[in-house]
Amino acid sequence: MTTNETLTNQINLNTSQSIFLLCDHCFWTATCLGKLHINQVLGANSICPGCKYGQLSSYPITANESFTYENSKTRGLEIVFGIRK
């Protein structure tokens, strides 16, 4: 495999990686199916569509990972990451 093919494969893997997005201000969440999808959902400036806050946290999710999340008044936001079964 040539260096260009290797680089192309790495880019394809990275752009297809799922990403969990979280607004640190209003706790709006989304799962994007790749880095390219983020720009379609949020635009180029990554502003929260819920509260217009200017900073989102992002957590990459590999193909063998899964997550669940709950939001309650008493405990707040709880995110559990694990191995996909």
The pLDDT value given to residue 2:
45
Residues in the chain: 85
> For residues 28 and 45, which has the higher predicted lDDT (pLDDT)?
28
The pLDDT value given to residue 16:
59
As given in the structure block, the two tokens for residue 35 are 């880095």
What does the pLDDT average to over 59-82?
Answer: 83
> For residues 7 and 53, which has the higher predicted lDDT (pLDDT)?
53
Which amino acid makes up residue 47?
A: I
| pLDDT tens profile 6-36 | 333 444 444 457 888 888 899 888 887 777 7
